[in-house]
């Protein structure tokens, strides 16, 4: 080989990425390429793990509750830069935030357009978010995926399922990835039940059955909400004693690991508490995390350091 000859380039798709993609048989080449795009971006590229920055809290909770702790967060571009500098796999937000920076940061970070949102000005035990974006919007701003929240347990759940079906069909025809936030909530579910292991596993299964490629759920507790489910958990001795056990069960509930399941960082918490959760997600075979308030409510340097520490846990 001459001195000027090019050296071999490592394969763009790792064996782990190929293994994950094999679980999505029947999807279009465009969708598979966009799943690979998410898996192959940032510091975790090729590992099969994901860390995503979500910033829909301004819509969901209001600007002061979301950004006053770190006023830089009022600026949509701040979140693009945080996701890029931290080496996240993707950045997810509603239309307004993404639209404001999509051109300036085109191609620098995969985008997930959140297509439905709700505000906290009207308190309802049975939420039903409004559709606030479209598949056409996602394509126009260069997003590789759409995001959509369902609330299993809400009196309006069937409306959400039906709307998601139509958006999923349109997204898949366009070759986009479908990411579903599945958050059990409603008058028939207790507050403790919203994170119960049986309810979270059920919510993850529902999202998978509705055609989601990537599923986001909250971390489950060892509480069991449904009496009928409790009998099965006890009879079959399903391990739920540790957080890693519960993560493993949720992954099992989403087609035995053939769908990517990531876990919410939840409300702001101390660093070591968050790190312990990340270790449990990894040990339980979870595919990663979606970390919002626990990152962008910190000063940027601190947030980048924290996200780097989380990624190193998943990577190593």
* 8 A C-beta contact, residue 130 and residue 160: no
Mean pLDDT of 186-214: 97
Active-site amino acid positions: 216
Residue 1 has a pLDDT of: 44
Average pLDDT, the chain: 95
Is 141's pLDDT higher than 50?
Answer: yes
* Residue 257 Cα distances to 14, 20, 74, 249, angstroms: 18, 9, 37, 10
Rounded mean pLDDT, 14-23: 97
Return the structure tokens found at 208. 């998978």
Q: How confident is the model at residue 129, as a pLDDT?
A: 95
C-alpha to C-alpha distance for 132 and 144, rounded to whole angstroms: 17
Q: Mean pLDDT across the stretch 134-140?
A: 98
What pLDDT does residue 204 have?
Answer: 98
Helix (H) or strand (E) holding 51: strand 50-54
- Residue 266 pLDDT exceeds 90: no
The answer on pLDDT for 168 being more than 60 is yes
Question: What pLDDT sits at residue 12?
Answer: 77
Task: Name the least confident of 3-12, 189-198, 217-226.
Answer: 3-12
Can you tell me the distance from the alpha carbon of 46 to that of 56, in angstroms, rounded to the nearest whole number? 27
pLDDT digits (tens, 9 = 90+) for 80-122: 999 999 999 999 999 999 999 999 999 999 999 999 999 999 9
Ordered by start, the domain boundaries in the chain are: 49-315
pLDDT of residue 316: 84
Token code pair at residue 23: 């679980």
How far apart (Å, rounded) are the C-alpha atoms in residues 117 and 93?
10
Determine the Cα–Cα distance for residues 281 and 279; give it in Å rounded to an integer: 5
Q: What angle do CA 50, 254, 244 make, to 5 degrees?
A: 65
Winning range, highest mean pLDDT, from 6-20, 117-131, 242-256: 242-256
* pLDDT over 80 at 269, yes or no: no
| Structure-token pair, residue 58 | 């301004």
- pLDDT at residue 246 greater than cutoff 70: yes
Task: Report the SS3 class of residue 40.
Answer: coil
Residue 23 near residue 258, CB atoms below 8 Å: yes
pLDDT at 261: 98
Instruction: For residue 268, name the pLDDT band (cuts at 50, 70, 90).
Output: low
Write down the pLDDT at residue 2: 46
**Rounded to the nearest 10 degrees, how much is the dihedral formed by the CA atoms of 169, 30, 88, 298?**
-30
Q: Is the pLDDT of residue 73 over 60?
A: yes
Neighbours of 109 (CB within 10 A): 24
Q: By C-alpha distance, which of 148, 208, 144, 140 is closest to 179? A: 148
pLDDT of amino acid 24: 97
Task: List 91's β-bridge partners, or say none.
Answer: 53, 111
| pLDDT tens for each residue of 23-62 | 999 999 999 999 999 999 999 999 999 999 999 999 999 9
CATH number of 49-315, picked from 3.90.550.10, 3.40.50.300, 3.40.50.150, 3.20.20.70: 3.20.20.70
Supply the pLDDT for residue 93.
97
């Amino acid at each position: 080989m001459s001195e000027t000859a090019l050296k071999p380039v490592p394969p763009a798709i790792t064996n782990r990425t190929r293994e994950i993609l094999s679980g999505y048989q029947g999807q279009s080449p465009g969708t598979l390429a966009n799943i690979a795009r998410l898996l192959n971006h940032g510091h975790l590229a090729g590992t099969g793990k994901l860390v995503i920055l979500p910033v829909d809290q301004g819509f969901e909770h209001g600007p002061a509750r979301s950004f006053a702790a770190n006023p830089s967060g009022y600026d949509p571009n701040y979140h693009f830069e945080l996701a890029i500098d931290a080496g996240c796999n993707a950045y997810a937000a509603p239309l307004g935030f993404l639209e404001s920076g999509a051109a300036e940061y085109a191609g620098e970070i995969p985008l997930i357009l959140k297509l439905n949102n709700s505000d906290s000005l009207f308190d309802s035990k049975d939420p039903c978010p409004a559709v606030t974006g479209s598949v056409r919007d996602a394509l126009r701003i260069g997003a590789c995926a759409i995001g959509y929240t369902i609330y299993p347990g809400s009196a309006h759940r069937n409306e959400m399922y039906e709307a998601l079906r139509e958006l999923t069909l349109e997204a898949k025809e366009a070759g986009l990835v479908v990411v579903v936030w599945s958050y059990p909530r409603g008058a028939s579910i207790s507050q403790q039940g919203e994170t119960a292991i049986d309810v979270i596993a059920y919510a993850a299964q529902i999202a998978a059955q509705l055609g989601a490629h990537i599923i986001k759920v909250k971390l489950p507790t060892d509480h069991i909400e449904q009496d009928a489910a409790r009998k099965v958990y006890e009879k079959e001795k399903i391990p739920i004693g540790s957080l890693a056990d519960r993560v493993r069960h949720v992954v099992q509930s989403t087609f035995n690991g053939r769908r990517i399941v990531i876990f919410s960082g939840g409300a702001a918490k101390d660093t070591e508490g968050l790190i312990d959760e990340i270790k449990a997600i990894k040990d339980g075979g979870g595919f990663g995390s979606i970390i919002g308030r626990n990152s962008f409510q910190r000063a940027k340097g601190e947030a980048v350091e924290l996200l780097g520490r989380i990624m190193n846990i998943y990577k190593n």
